[in-house]
Amino acid sequence: MHLTKDEERILKGKSGEGVQKAMELLVAIGDALDAPRLIEISRAHAASSGQEGDLYFVELLAKGGATCKVPTSTNPVYDMECFDKLFNISPEESDVARRVKEGYKQIGAILSWCCTPYITENIPMYGENVSFSESSATPFVNSVIGAKTNREAAQSALAAGVIGKTPEYGLYLEENRKGTMLVKVAAALKDEFDYSLLGQYVGKQIGYGIPVFTGIPKRPTTEDLINLCAMLNTSGAISMFHIPGITVESRTVEEAFGGNHPKDKVTVTEHELKETREELQTGKGKIDLVQFGCPHYTLKQVVDVARQLDGKKIHKDVQFWVCTSATAILLAERMGYVDTIEKAGGHIVADTCIDMTCWNRFKDKTGMTDSPKCAYYRRFKDVIVAPAAECIKAAIRGAWQ
Amino acid sequence: MKKEIRLKCHKIMGGYGEGEALVSKEPICFYLTDPKTGRVREKGHVLEGKSIADKVLVFSSGKASSVVQIDGLYKLATEGKAPKAMIAKDVETVLVVSAVIAKIPLVDRLERDPFAAIHTGDLVKVDADRGTVSIIKKT
């Protein structure tokens, strides 16, 4: 990869060790993937995780004096104030999370602690070059918004945020943004949950590439699209897709393929969605936990949950948790919905991912969720995956069916 | 003396590592290995129950979310249970970052199909800096 004189100086350590380490990582990626040069980006999202690999790199950069050059948001870790007390988490156990949070603060990141920053704290515009890691974030930014990013790791996105640049390859190039696979949908897609199942099935079937969806029955909501993105990029490694007429880079199927000839065709009917749902189930009967918010629930989803819980009581043996963004909590509180959820015996928390050590206390328990991604990364034993409304009913009853 | 086959490759993460080959045509998620033993925990995976520690791992590609993939390989490395080197058929950003953060030599673009050239149990030497892979077939 060609470097400018300034970039060479950074690589040689003339601007400090922190930015040098960031540049080394970007150069390794650029060389590996045949990028000709670095290009400027306007924002980044680091899928920080509160895990050890994450801690190592953010501390390496922060201690070396690096700071973010462009706005760089952060993924959830967990709300220590909430869980340390409630779950009796020892200072040793929460040490990694605490240090990760300090590291990102020191490096000047946006402390969003949210996995859907693209609808709240860090919103790219059409055509921007950005560097967004996190499973739902990468495809959402590319497909729904039409900004450009590769499927970044937390560390490569952080490095790009620190340097303000990234190697030019992959989805930054127009010719790589065209469809590679046709997905014919012949199902009703009646709710957000069906979009999760669709993403789960298609991701697993095709693994990699840019699917072009046809037959989507009506305009998907923001939440439908968040779920589709999260699952396409969890059960597969899909960074972009087209829904002609809905996602921004294609009005027609022809435009979506841009002269490419689809290699293969996948058809999705109610049957595939039903089978996908059945494959996810490992538990039944009594439940100990309901987990919502993987990806983080939007304000709309928080409101939906609160309305269904209004005047009801969650079963005394069920822990009920909604994970969302700090922004959504602030507004939900103002609107009275935090109160509604808490009066019903539920919890709502910001800054928190379902895949964190604080949930390990449920390792022998049965949990219920509306998210196949939550099921995949779960910290509890058995799982029942169902639409949110069914999870809420089960939480009140104390059992699934 | 056993014949050594030397093939060219493309360096991704520099360094040198040698060991017994462990081949997986399936993609690998490092998060689904046990960092204390290096054993693959993923149910139904072709390597389920086998340890990748100290091996030269020959595999099709990485998989799973960017967050967990890097953490998985980093933990294996800090426990001393990572592969000595890795030969991948397809690489993407997350795999590159994983190898750089964990400091494990990684190469791709072997001049022959890695699954035809290398079989589990062969002795393999990966010199990523020189861009060569040497194979001594198991007898």
Rg (CA), chain A: 21
For residues A247 and B29, the model is more confident at: A247
Pair A292, A377 in one domain:
yes
Label residue B62 by pLDDT band (50, 70, 90): confident
Chain A residues whose C-beta sits inside 8 Å of any chain B C-beta: 24-25, 28-29, 31-33, 47, 49, 51-54, 56-57, 75, 133-135, 150-156, 170, 233-234, 237, 355, 377
Pair A227, A326 in one domain:
no
Pair A169, A184 in one domain:
no
Chain B residues whose C-beta sits inside 8 Å of any chain A C-beta: 10, 12-13, 63-75, 78, 91-94, 96-98, 100-102, 108
Domain termination site, one of A174, A199, A230 = A174
Task: Decide if pLDDT at B110 tops 70.
Answer: yes
Q: How far is CA A40 from CA A68, A164, A249, B118, in A?
A: 13, 6, 21, 41
Pair A266, A309 in one domain:
no
Task: Decide if pLDDT at B139 tops 80.
Answer: no
What is the rounded CA–CA span in Å between residue A302 and residue A305? 5
CB pairs under 8 A between A and B: 92
Which long-range contacts does A54-59 make (Cβ < 8 Å, 24+ apart)? A54/A100, A54/A154, A54/A155, A54/B67, A54/B70, A54/B71, A55/A96, A55/A99, A55/A100, A55/A103, A56/B74, A56/B101, A57/A21, A57/A154, A57/A155, A57/A158, A57/B101, A58/A100, A58/A103, A58/A104, A58/A107, A58/A158, A59/A99, A59/A103
Contact call for B92 and A57, based on CB within 8 A? no
Query: Are the CB atoms for A398 and A315 separated by under 8 Å?
Result: yes
The residue type found at B137 is K
Label residue B1 by pLDDT band (50, 70, 90): low
Q: What is the mean pLDDT of chain B?
A: 93
The minimum CA-CA distance between B92 and chain A, rounded to whole Å, is 8
Regions of chain A with pLDDT less than 50: none
The domain in which residue A13 lies consists of 5-174
CATH number assigned to the domain comprising residue A34: 3.30.499
What is the rounded CA–CA span in Å between residue A74 and residue A121? 10
Tens digits of residue pLDDT in A284-294: 999 999 999 99
Nearest to B92 among A24, A47, A151 (CB): A151
Pair A40, A147 in one domain:
yes
CATH number assigned to the domain comprising residue A316: 3.30.499.10
Contact call for A54 and B69, based on CB within 8 A? no
Pair A38, A128 in one domain:
yes
Domain termination site, one of A174, A192, A227 = A174
Q: What is the pLDDT of residue A51?
A: 83
Domains contained in chain A, number? 3
Pair A262, A131 in one domain:
no
Q: What is the pLDDT of residue A143?
A: 98
Q: Are strands A211-214 and A181-186 parallel, antiparallel or unpaired?
A: parallel
First vs last Cα of chain B: how many Å apart?
12
Pair A166, A19 in one domain:
yes
Q: What is the pLDDT of residue A262?
A: 87
**Which ipTM did the prediction report?**
0.87
Contact call for B98 and A133, based on CB within 8 A? no
Pair A158, A25 in one domain:
yes
Domain termination site, one of A221, A244, A278 = A278
Residues of chain B contacting residue A51, judged by C-beta atoms under 8 Å apart: 67-68, 71
Q: Give the phi and the psi of residue B120 in degrees, each rounded to 5.
A: -50, 130
Q: What is the pLDDT of residue B68?
A: 79
Q: What is the pLDDT of residue A306?
A: 98
Tell me the average pLDDT across B15-19. 97
Residues of chain B contacting residue A57, judged by C-beta atoms under 8 Å apart: 101
For residues B1 and B29, the model is more confident at: B29
Pair A72, A170 in one domain:
yes
Q: What is the pLDDT of residue A263?
A: 75
Q: What is the pLDDT of residue A269?
A: 98
Cα B96 to chain center, whole Å? 12
Q: What is the pLDDT of residue A275?
A: 97
What domains sit in chain B, N to C, each tagged with a CATH number? 4-136 (3.50.30.10)
pTM of the model: 0.93
Mutating which of B60, B61, B70, B74 best tests the A interface, going by the most A Cβ atoms within 10 A?
Answer: B70
What is the three-class DSSP state of A397?
helix
Q: Which tokens in the block code for residue A250? A: 């294609």
Pair A107, A184 in one domain:
no
Nearest to B70 among A53, A135, A150 (CB): A53
Angle A122-A255-A132 from CA coordinates, rounded to 5°? 20
Label residue B43 by pLDDT band (50, 70, 90): confident
Pair A91, A138 in one domain:
yes
Q: What is the pLDDT of residue A49?
A: 80
Instruction: List, as one string, the DSSP characters of A55-99.
Output: HHHHHHHHHTT---SS-EEE--B--HHHHHHHTT--TTTTHHHHH
Contact call for B100 and A135, based on CB within 8 A? no
